[in-house]
Amino acid sequence: MRVHTRKSQEELTPEDALQYLKEGNQRFIRNLRANRNLLQQVNETAEGQFPFAIILSCIDSRTSAELVFDQGLGDIFSARVAGNIVNEDILGSMEYAVKYAGSKLILVLGHTKCGAIISACNQVRDGNITTLLHKIKPAVEKEKTILEDRNGQNEKFVNKVAELNVRVAMKEILERSDIIAEMISNRKITLEGGVYDVETGEVNFF
């Protein structure tokens, strides 16, 4: 499989970009990797890169976007931070990806059994972790369906908060980035969300 060129990237629609990720995840869960010559891709991307998407995901070692979506060198931008939270640096990276590097899709990817979500549900306070977990607090507060055992030991509660945390991040991206909001309004790009299941390897898109 060849890397994306400027021409192939420009010809993609946002819907095409999303479909690439969906198809890649299906290959991943079926253990059917696309045939790639990674050394060849190193050479082909040496002079430039044309990623079709930027993915914000958690630092969790089980959720590497390149692996779970079966993508090669030069295919996607990968922004990773515990709890897939949004900050100014993440927003700036997204704006660069879509406005200047030509990416057609922004995906916010949460996952089940997330350690950052568990810590936020348990109201952990420790060093700079406290500041990070504070950004997950709105998702914890938005979860209203579970009334008992609202803590990190309740897997159902944790996973519901993980999904809400993705939705909170998506809303924040739209509210805090005029560049991204305008490009979405003009249908140049799309913003999507999903949750990766660490037990099955499948991504459930919203």
**pLDDT of res. 82:** 97
Q: What is the pLDDT of residues 15-35, one digit of tens each?
A: 999 999 999 999 999 998 877
Q: Where are the domains of the chain?
A: 6-205
**pLDDT of res. 123:** 95
Q: Find out whether 58 is annotated in a ligand binding site.
A: yes
Tokens of 157: 């509660």
Instruction: Write down the architecture of domain 6-205 according to CATH.
Output: 3-Layer(aba) Sandwich (3.40)
Question: Residues 6 or more apart from 56 whose CB is under 8 A from it?
Answer: 79, 80, 81, 84, 86, 90, 94, 106, 107, 108, 109, 169
Whether the model clears a pTM of 0.85, i.e. scores above it, the answer is yes
Q: What is the pLDDT of residues 89-119, one digit of tens each?
A: 999 999 999 999 999 999 999 999 999 999 9
Is the per-residue pLDDT at 188 higher than 90?
yes
CA distance 41 to 93: 23
Instruction: Please tell me whether residue 102 adopts helix, strand or coil conformation.
Output: coil
Residues 180, 94 contacting (CB under 8 angstroms):
yes
Compute φ and ψ for 105, nearest 5 degrees. Answer: -145, 135
Q: Find out whether 60 is annotated in a ligand binding site.
A: yes
Q: Find out whether 121 is annotated in a ligand binding site.
A: no
Q: Which residue has the higher pLDDT, 3 or 189?
A: 189
Is the per-residue pLDDT at 146 higher than 70?
yes
User: Please, which pLDDT band fits residue 47 given cuts at 50, 70 and 90?
Assistant: low
CA distance 63 to 87: 20
| CB-facing half-sphere around the CA of 4: CA atoms within 13 A | 24
